[in-house]
Structure 1
Amino acid sequence: MKSVKSKYTAVIGTVLALSASITAELAHADQLADVKQHGAVSCGVYSNVEPFSYPDPQSRELVGMDVDLCRAVAKRLGVKATLEPLAVEARVPQLKLGRVDMVIANLAYTKARATQIAFSDAYYSTKEVLLVKEANAKKTLADLGGQRFSATDGSTSAQSIPLSIKGGQAVTFHDTSSAFMALEQNKVQGFVTNQMTARQIQSQVANTAGAVAILPEPMLIEPIAIGMQQDQAAMKDAVNKALVEMDQDGEMQQIFDKWLGPKTKYGLSRTDKVTPIEKLKFTPV
């Protein structure tokens, strides 16, 4: 009797395990189908990082390049877009937990992130640069070895410091303002951030006692892409198809020029086309 009971228990245990496994697979089976069924896709965007996603001063609604990208991709998927504001360091964790369907938040590809999430094709490349006090404008990265540099938590800016500056020490802060303040207060020798933010800060403090310079040597060159959950081939294919179509019909260029282009305070030119990351020439961190 004991043997029969043990076998019965083992069979029930196996059935329950299989059932749980099947349920989990079904829940994770086809995110694209789920998004289409619900008629909406949720995008994790920055809560307050201009010009990517930030509250409009008058309406208080989120606006920015990444907001426009989310809505454009959603439209091509045939669904509505919902926006979920995220802190810089929360982008990958919230995506992994399934609290957003995708992350469109100036997300740079890194080897570490690629083990946790999937990336779309890159839709442009950016640079991480080093802001220093104007008095240090002629220094090189090699001149600054062994110094302390600020960056925001969970950013590739922080990762670039020990890679690009020999003995460089990263001091991280929750937000851009705090990281830049560390430079202003001489707690660090420089502040590492993306080139758009760097240009904006440089413009804001120009002709003041706190004027800063951007060193010409980039810390990193980074492909920017949309983050998605792993093992969702249909979703990834659909998002890549949307990005390619946006590139071909000019919508991607329009969005870029609106927020970052030559007529904006950032003065950037987009020379990249939507390209699979594996086909790009860059040094991943």
Structure 2
Amino acid sequence: MQVSKVVFAMLLAGVGAAPLVSAHADQLSDVKGRGALTCGVYSNVEPFSYPNAQTRQLEGMDVDICTAIAKHLGVKAKLEPLAVEARIPQLKLGRVDVVVANLAYTKTRAGQIAFSDAYYSTKEVLVVKKADAGKKLADFSGQKISAADGSTSAQSIPLSIKNGQAVTFHDTSSAFLALEQGKVNGFVTNQMTATKIAKQVDGTAGAVVIATQPMLIEPIAVGLRQNEPGMKDAVNKALNAMEQSGEMSQIFDRWLGPKTQYALTRTDKVTPIDQLKFTPVN
């Protein structure tokens, strides 16, 4: 009876005994236990994640990447549509497991979340009216330039244009509309979106062109929660397996490749971000 009392006292004190409540499983175990990977994706940004006109189901490059990663993890993909500015907060709050939404690496983001290996690099470019086609970035010094709120496009403005005044909007369409309406002198977005917009308005009074000098070159990766090494390792293994099998290039070509309206050629490979040469934005 006395021994039982001593053991009980030790358990209460936490001395020399295993904890009464087991530690919370790591994120990878949670995901596998649920049988689903919740991916934060864009709600309506072509060609990354947007609703199909007929089925209303989300489709796009990021949807395919999320689905492929989930398959490699042995679970199903669950898509959670997010606004541009909600990507990091929703990941930090744990409402999504990962973010696959054309997410560029920045210093600030790297202090808040973890990043997978980069699976391609993109350019942030300046879109201007056709009358300004011959101008260089320096010619827009001190002028108003629009971009989507919470994007690296917005962050690139003061970095690439001296005294550039960033005017941000809730989404990319609104930021471009500001250029059309003459409220700003330029509009910054990623190269793919810029190419599509330029083609759509070509031959009209509102025709635009892409400035020859890029604003930034950015590595794109999967956003992950901090301090989850198992999850990060699993995602990186999935991305590298996709690279080796050619699956990553197939996904890229389907949405951005030479036969699409963006006509891009993938020259990047899945690579750890610390092995890339680029100037990260804050």
Q: For the superposition of Structure 1 and Structure 2, which TM-score range results when normalised by the shorter chain?
A: over 0.9
TM-score by length of 1: 0.91
Letter in 1 for 2:90: Q
SS at 2:237 equivalent: helix
**Identity, % of aligned pairs?**
74
For 2:177 and 2:243, locate their aligned partners in 1 and report how far apart those are by CA, in whole Å.
38
Shift of 1:15: 7.5
1:117 equivalent to 2:113? Answer: yes
For 1:69 and 1:94, locate their aligned partners in 2 and report how far apart those are by CA, in whole Å.
19
Which residue of the partner structure matches residue 63 of structure 1?
59
SS at 1:191 equivalent: strand
Letter in 1 for 2:33: Q
Give a deviation string over 1:138-164, Cα, whole Å, max 9, x none: 000011100000000100000000000
For 1:89 and 1:65, locate their aligned partners in 2 and report how far apart those are by CA, in whole Å.
19
Letter in 1 for 2:227: D
For 1:171 and 1:104, locate their aligned partners in 2 and report how far apart those are by CA, in whole Å.
26
Which residue of the partner structure matches residue 5 of structure 2?
none
For 2:23 and 2:175, locate their aligned partners in 1 and report how far apart those are by CA, in whole Å.
44
Structure 1 gaps of 5+ residues are 1-13, 17-21
- For the aligned residue pairs, the C-alpha RMSD in angstroms reads 1.6
Shift of 1:37: 0.8
Instruction: Please show how residues 203-214 of structure 1 align to structure 2 within 5 Å.
Output: 203-214=199-210
For 2:164 and 2:13, locate their aligned partners in 1 and report how far apart those are by CA, in whole Å.
55
SS at 1:223 equivalent: strand
1:276 equivalent to 2:276? Answer: no
TM-score by length of 2: 0.92
For 1:95 and 1:281, locate their aligned partners in 2 and report how far apart those are by CA, in whole Å.
27
Letter in 1 for 2:148: T
Give a deviation string over 1:144-189, Cα, whole Å, max 9, x none: 1000000001000000000000000100000111100100011000
Q: How many aligned residue pairs are there?
A: 266
For 1:216 and 1:77, locate their aligned partners in 2 and report how far apart those are by CA, in whole Å.
41
**Counterpart selection for 1:147 from 121, 143, 161:** 143
**Counterpart selection for 1:107 from 103, 107, 130:** 103
Shift of 1:224: 0.1
Give a deviation string over 1:210-241, Cα, whole Å, max 9, x none: 00010011100000000000000000000000
Between Structure 1 and Structure 2, the one with more helix by share is: 1
For 2:147 and 2:107, locate their aligned partners in 1 and report how far apart those are by CA, in whole Å.
19
Letter in 2 for 1:162: P
Shift of 1:35: 0.5
1:53 equivalent to 2:30? Answer: no
For 2:87 and 2:213, locate their aligned partners in 1 and report how far apart those are by CA, in whole Å.
28
1:175 equivalent to 2:171? Answer: yes
For 2:28 and 2:173, locate their aligned partners in 1 and report how far apart those are by CA, in whole Å.
37
SS at 2:117 equivalent: coil
Shift of 1:26: 3.3
Q: Deviation above 4 Å: which 4+ runs of structure 1?
A: none
Letter in 2 for 1:80: K
Shift of 1:133: 0.2
Give a deviation string over 1:11-47, Cα, whole Å, max 9, x none: xxx979xxxxx97x934x5100110111111000000
SS at 2:100 equivalent: strand
Letter in 1 for 2:208: V
Which residue of the partner structure matches residue 93 of structure 1?
89
**Counterpart selection for 1:194 from 161, 176, 190:** 190
Letter in 1 for 2:23: L
Which residue of the partner structure matches residue 224 of structure 1?
220
